[in-house]
């Protein structure tokens, strides 16, 4: 059994994990990054849409931050944590520059040249500061930054349990199974940052990265952390293609007809043409399903006819709005789909709007345990577009820095007896892993991973049912 020690262990290598690892290293901590896939993976790099938007206040000025807070709180149904949202607004511009310095390729968009409405984020009502994150173009630069910061990396390593010290309950690192042989790896750490992504892949069907299984939620609650707003996840329409499904971009809803077996979907669902047109036009302002807006009739009508149909996007006369043109060009280039062509459409679970509760520094109130990114948002009912990636960036940096500061004065060498969670969730001594055969390690890994995945599905499904989800 391999064993390594560090000050801070970061689990996950999406935007949140990369930012946390870099910030912790810059603060002087020794850092190990453990990720299930390759470095730069998860929802941040899943590639199910043409790009990721990052949205924040128009400027760092207090009045713009206040406007941003209102823009987030409104769709959230007053369930979004005020301090968390304010920290996001105040930290956005500084974090963006730090992320760019890490090697991220960021496109800055200046409203005022064309249709400004294109830069109003999903569920918003006014223009915000919008930036595009080019994931694939950023990979090499972000990986180089980890090397420069001397972050140790264990990739293709599935974390199956947090470690804890039974003496005080502090989280003291992770147990991971590495490679096809599921070789046990114990990472001893003074602080651990969960950046494991959301839970949309725990549900079916899903548009989420297969790594977003919600396992971090189970690991955190195992150690005493609490969750909030888990019943509010994002459901998106997606295009079914030969490869992975692709997000159906909201900007084209106003140009779209929905057909099932040659009949209008709304007609089949008993929705009047006027009401259907109102719903489609309203939906052009946001992609995910909303429980609070008339646009809900789109997804509810598709669900009423079995959850699948065909979408036909009619090309408008005259100039095509820039975001629409970009999306349709991307669809044709990547999926061979074009204007006026029936596209198979279905409803998918896409993202989480709730997660592990923590403070603005990512601390979960469990000693030694922090969380950042989609495992930890608490935005609730509807989520302003572009703040998922922005949140991962801002709070990934915050959590990494806080974890480093919290551990520098209390190194881990003094901990001798550590436990992980077994197949039944009960503590087991790490020493029991010594001498495991390859087959034994593989069997253990399968059992522990299965417990986390089943637990995540049950946890999120129960919360959704309690919240009255129609999906």
Per-residue pLDDT tens over the stretch 303-344:
999 999 999 999 999 889 888 998 999 889 888 899 999 999
Predicted confidence band at 108 (pLDDT cuts at 50, 70, 90)?
confident
Summarize the confidence of residues 153-163 as an average pLDDT: 95
CATH topology of domain 235-347: Flavocytochrome C3; Chain A, domain 1 (3.90.700)
Tell me, yes or no, if the two domains 2-232+353-465 and 235-347 fold the same way.
Answer: no
420-433 residue pLDDT tens: 999 999 999 998 99
For residue 465, pLDDT over 50 is answered with: yes
What is the radius of gyration, based on Cα positions, of the chain? 22
Residue labelled with tokens 């918003």: 124
Name the token pair of 41: 């993976």
Residue pair 325/115 in contact by the 8 Å Cβ criterion:
no
For residue 113, pLDDT over 50 is answered with: no
For residue 78, pLDDT over 80 is answered with: no
What's the start-to-end Cα distance of the chain, in Å?
Answer: 43
Summarize the confidence of residues 111-128 as an average pLDDT: 67
Q: Is the pTM of this model over 0.95?
A: no
For residue 138, pLDDT over 80 is answered with: yes
Summarize the confidence of residues 127-152 as an average pLDDT: 91
Mean pLDDT of the chain: 90
380 or 405, greater pLDDT: 405
- Strands laid side by side in the 308-313 sheet: 246-247, 233-239, 343-352, 308-313, 256-260, 263-264
Name the token pair of 398: 């915050």
Residue pair 335/243 in contact by the 8 Å Cβ criterion:
yes
Residue 396: name the closest of 423, 360, 357 by CA: 360
Name the token pair of 344: 């198979």
Sequence-distant (6+) residues with CB within 8 A of 12 are 34, 35, 36, 42, 194, 195, 196, 197, 211, 216, 373, 375
115 or 58, greater pLDDT: 58
Q: Domain residue spans in the chain?
A: 2-232+353-465, 235-347
Q: With b meaning 16 or more CB within 10 Å and e meaning fewer, what string describes 270-282?
A: ebeeeebeebbeb
For residue 114, pLDDT over 50 is answered with: no
According to the model, what pLDDT value does residue 460 have?
A: 93
Summarize the confidence of residues 3-21 as an average pLDDT: 95
For residue 413, pLDDT over 80 is answered with: no
Residue pair 90/60 in contact by the 8 Å Cβ criterion:
yes
Instruction: Tell me the torsion sign for CA atoms 322, 323, 329, 330.
Output: positive
Predicted confidence band at 110 (pLDDT cuts at 50, 70, 90)?
low
According to the model, what pLDDT value does residue 140 have?
A: 95
Q: Domain 2-232+353-465, what architecture?
A: 3-Layer(bba) Sandwich (3.50)
Instruction: Tell me the torsion sign for CA atoms 146, 147, 151, 157.
Output: positive
């Amino acid at each position: 059994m391999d064993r390594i020690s560090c000050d801070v262990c970061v689990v996950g290598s999406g935007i949140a994990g990369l930012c946390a690892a870099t910030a912790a290293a810059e603060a002087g901590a020794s850092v190990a990054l453990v990720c299930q896939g390759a470095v730069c993976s998860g929802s941040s790099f899943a590639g199910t849409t043409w790009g990721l938007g990052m949205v924040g206040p128009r400027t760092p000025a207090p009045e713009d931050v206040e406007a941003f807070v209102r823009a987030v709180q409104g769709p959230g149904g007053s369930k979004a944590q005020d301090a968390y949202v304010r920290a996001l607004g105040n930290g956005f511009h500084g974090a963006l520059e730090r992320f760019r310095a890490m090697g991220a390729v960021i496109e800055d968009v200046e409203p005022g040249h064309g249709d400004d409405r294109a830069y109003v984020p999903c569920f918003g009502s006014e223009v915000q500061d919008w930036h595009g994150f080019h994931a694939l173009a950023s990979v090499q630069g972000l990986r180089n930054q980890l090397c420069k910061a001397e972050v140790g990396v264990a990739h293709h390593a599935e974390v199956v349990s947090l470690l804890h010290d039974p003496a005080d309950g502090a989280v003291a690192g992770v147990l991971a199974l590495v490679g096809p042989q599921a070789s046990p790896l114990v990472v001893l750490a003074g602080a651990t940052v969960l950046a494991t992504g959301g839970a949309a892949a725990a549900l079916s069907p899903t548009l989420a990265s297969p790594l977003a299984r919600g396992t971090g939620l189970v690991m955190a609650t195992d150690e005493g952390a609490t969750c909030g707003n888990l019943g509010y996840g994002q459901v998106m329409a997606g295009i079914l293609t030969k490869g992975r499904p692709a997000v159906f971009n909201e900007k084209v809803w106003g140009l779209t007809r929905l057909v099932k077996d040659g009949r209008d979907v709304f007609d089949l669902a008993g929705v009047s043409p006027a009401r259907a047109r109102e719903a489609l036009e309203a939906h052009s302002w946001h992609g995910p399903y909303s429980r609070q807006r008339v646009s809900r009739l789109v997804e509810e009508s598709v669900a009423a006819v079995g959850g699948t149909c065909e979408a036909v996007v009619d090309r408008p006369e005259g100039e095509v709005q820039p975001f629409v043109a970009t999306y349709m060009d991307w669809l044709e280039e990547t999926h061979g789909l074009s204007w006026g062509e029936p596209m198979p459409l279905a409803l998918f679970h896409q993202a989480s709007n709730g997660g592990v509760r923590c403070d603005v520094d990512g601390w979960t109130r469990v000693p030694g345990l922090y969380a950042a990114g989609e495992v930890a948002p608490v935005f609730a009912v509807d989520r302003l577009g572009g703040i998922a990636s922005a949140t991962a960036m801002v709070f990934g940096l915050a959590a990494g820095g806080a974890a480093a500061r919290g551990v520098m004065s209390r190194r881990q060498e003094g901990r001798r007896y550590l436990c992980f969670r077994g197949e039944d969730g009960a503590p087991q001594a790490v020493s029991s892993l010594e001498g495991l055969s390859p087959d034994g390690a593989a069997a253990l890994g399968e059992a522990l991973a299965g417990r986390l995945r089943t637990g995540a599905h049950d946890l999120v499904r129960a919360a959704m049912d309690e919240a009255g989800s129609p999906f």
